[in-house]
């Protein structure tokens, strides 16, 4: 199980803690934030792009391919399902994620195509494509936040 603790600080500034790492999420100035970090939506896109890049590098290393770097540009559009060609699900909206990936290095066209396929199978991509269930639980002041014990002292 992966565990992340999120703490809202001043305004919209939010600390995201996992292991020994802290990241910051925020909103832009024009939305009332302090612009100290990416928005939650931008973090989601960053997670998808980072996962694709890391997965491609892992695969290239196992194969001994000359992958020198990966650049990924990720965007997302929310579209009406009725207007999305080929969509047959029951949702009102469809979120279309688009990744534009550039593999750097002395690679063949076949290697680049294979890396593109592998990047499209990264764990975050799979999570986004799976059916998901989100459960919210309300904790009272008397309850100990499970991850809090790890952050004391």
| pLDDT tens for each residue of 25-66 | 999 999 999 999 999 999 999 999 999 999 999 999 999 999
Return the pLDDT at 140. 87
Return the pLDDT at 142. 83
Residue 152 domain-assigned (yes or no): no
Q: Are residues 58 and 102 in the same domain?
A: yes
Below-50 pLDDT ranges, the chain: 151-153
**Biggest distance spanned by C-alpha atoms of the chain:** 60
Which pTM was predicted? 0.88
Return the pLDDT at 86. 87
Residue 145 domain-assigned (yes or no): no
Residue 129 domain-assigned (yes or no): yes
Q: Are residues 56 and 102 in the same domain?
A: yes
Return the pLDDT at 151. 47
Domain with 110 in it: 39-140
Q: Are residues 58 and 30 in the same domain?
A: no
Exposure class string for 51-60: b at 16+ Cβ within 10 A, else e: bbbebbbebb
- Residue 122: which residues within 8 A CB-CB, separation 6 or more? 48, 51, 52, 54, 55
Return the pLDDT at 13. 97
Q: Are residues 59 and 31 in the same domain?
A: no
Return the pLDDT at 15. 97
Q: E strands within 38-92?
A: 67-80
Return the pLDDT at 153. 38
Residue 62 domain-assigned (yes or no): yes
Q: Are residues 60 and 13 in the same domain?
A: no
Q: Is 98 exposed, middle or buried (0-12, 13-18, 19+ CB in 10 A)?
A: exposed
Which H or E run contains 83? none
Q: Are residues 46 and 118 in the same domain?
A: yes
**Kind of pairing, strands 67-80 and 93-105?**
antiparallel
Q: Are residues 66 and 18 in the same domain?
A: no
Residue 150 domain-assigned (yes or no): no
């Amino acid at each position: 199980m992966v565990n992340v603790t999120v703490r809202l600080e001043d305004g919209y500034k939010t600390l995201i803690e996992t292991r020994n790492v802290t990241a910051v999420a925020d909103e832009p100035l024009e939305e009332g934030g302090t612009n100290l970090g990416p928005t939650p939506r931008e973090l989601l896109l960053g997670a998808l792009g980072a996962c694709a890049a890391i997965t491609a590098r892992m695969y290239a290393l196992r194969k001994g391919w000359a992958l020198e770097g990966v650049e990924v540009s990720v965007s997302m559009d929310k579209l009406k399902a009725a207007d999305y060609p080929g969509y047959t699900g029951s949702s009102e909206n469809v979120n279309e994620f688009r990744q534009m990936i550039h593999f750097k290095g002395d690679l063949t066209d076949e290697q680049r195509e294979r890396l593109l396929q592998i990047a499209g199978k990264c764990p975050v991509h799979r999570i986004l494509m799976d059916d998901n269930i989100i459960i919210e639980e309300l904790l009272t002041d008397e309850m100990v936040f499970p991850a809090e014990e790890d952050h004391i002292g």
